[in-house]
Structures are given as C-alpha cells and as structure tokens.
C-alpha cells in the first residue's frame, strides 16, 4: 500500500528522539526498525507513556537530510514515524527522503490530523480524546485499539467498521492495566477471531 499526499513540504522537523530497535507491536512485531519520534501532540491521552513529547517547542528542529542519514547508518530499512502525533507535521519530504534511501515508511498515528506523506504502512490507534479523521481510517493498514476498560471493546468495534476489509485488527492492553485487561482481551478475541492481540513486547524484552 502507498498513500501519497501533496501538501506544502518542510525541510525540518522537531525530533524528540530516534533509535534503532525492534518493532514491539502489531503486524511487524519483532522486525528491526528505526524509530523517529517527533515532538508535538494535541490529543493528550492521560495514560500516555511519552508525555514529554507533547510540546514540540521543547525538541530541536532537525534537518530532514540529517534525520535520514542517521537512519541509513543502520542496516534495517524499516522506518517508523511516531510521536507525539506525527501528523501534526507535514511528512511529505521526510517520507520522500526515506524512500530514496530504500526504507519502508511506517507511521503510528491517532489519525486526528490531516494525512501527509507517502506511506507503506499506517498503524491507526484512535483515541477518545480526539477522534481520527475519516480520510485516515480509510487508508489504515492496521487498527490498534488500546483497551483501558471493558467499554473499550464496543468502541474498538466502532472503528473496525470504518477501516477497510484488508486492515489488520489488534487489541492492546493499556500497560498499567495489562494484568486486568489482558485476560478479557484473550476471551474477546476467542469470541471475535477477526481481532488479534498486540502486546508491547519491547517493554518485556527491555529495548526502546
């Protein structure tokens, strides 16, 4: 899948951190991946584990050419753009530069801001605090819904009805409530086998 937009491009982006690790969640779990975490988020999940990413002004603006050169220094060619909320920024130039270096471009987003960039894979993780836009729902490669309480199962089904039939469906326990929520998710998936379980494996194996 390739999703292309044509918004105004930018040559710099606020980068909170970048690192080479394994993808810990979803369909590409266990694959080597270079993560680029951008600063800025207007969603504000109370259980967010990277709240320091919310204020874009706290993170340095970096040239896209430098960001991509650092990524290309590693052997893996899967780049994951995350945040914060990455779609708060125009990502056309970043994805174009990554593709030129042979990367697959993946994004993790709440879908709450307009789509930009050229994507090989989009992980949509909708949040109740700011609903995803229909344009993002339609092109999501995988839907990952965080389960914080029992009512979230019905909420997950609401968004499963908005994505394409090809979209992979995952339920993920909120980390601090995983002991309570994981058994409920397991039972739910057994009754609704179109869903899969996504765990934050990177936290279990102690990698970024």
Provide the annotated binding site for S-adenosyl-L-methionine.
47-49, 84, 125-127
Count of other CB atoms within 10 angstroms of residue 142: 23
Residue numbers in the known binding site for [4Fe-4S] cluster are 41, 45, 48
Residue numbers in the known binding site are 22-24, 37, 41, 45, 47-49, 82, 84, 125-127, 208
**How many whole angstroms separate alpha carbon 124 and alpha carbon 156?**
12
**What is the torsional sign of CA 36, 63, 66, 52?**
negative
Residue numbers in the known binding site for substrate are 22-24, 37, 82, 208
Q: Which residues, in sequence order, are CB contacts of 124 under 8 Å at separation 6+? A: 109, 110, 111, 132, 136, 137, 140, 142, 143, 144, 159, 163, 167
Alpha-carbon Rg for the chain in angstroms: 16
Q: Which residue has the tokens 């993780």?
A: 125
């Amino acid at each position: 899948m390739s999703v292309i937009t044509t918004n105004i491009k930018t040559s710099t982006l606020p980068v909170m951190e970048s690192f080479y690790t394994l993808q810990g969640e979803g369909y590409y779990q266990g694959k080597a991946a270079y993560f680029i975490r951008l600063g800025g988020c207007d969603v504000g999940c109370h259980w967010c584990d990277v709240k320091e990413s919310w204020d874009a002004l706290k993170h340095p603006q970096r040239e896209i050419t430098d960001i991509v050169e650092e990524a290309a220094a590693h052997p893996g060619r899967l780049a994951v753009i995350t945040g914060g909320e990455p779609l708060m920024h125009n990502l056309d130039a970043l994805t174009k530069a990554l593709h030129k270096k042979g990367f697959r471009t993946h994004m993790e987003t709440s879908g709450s801001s307009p789509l930009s960039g050229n994507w090989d894979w989009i992980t949509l993780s909708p949040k109740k605090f700011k609903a995803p836009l229909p344009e993002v729902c339609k092109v999501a490669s995988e839907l990952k819904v965080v389960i914080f309480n029992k009512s979230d199962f019905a909420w997950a089904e609401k968004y499963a009805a908005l994505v394409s039939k090809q979209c992979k469906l995952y339920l993920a326990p909120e980390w601090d409530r995983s002991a309570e929520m994981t058994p409920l998710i397991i039972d739910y998936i057994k009754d609704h086998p179109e869903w899969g379980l996504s765990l934050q494996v990177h936290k279990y194996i102690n990698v970024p």
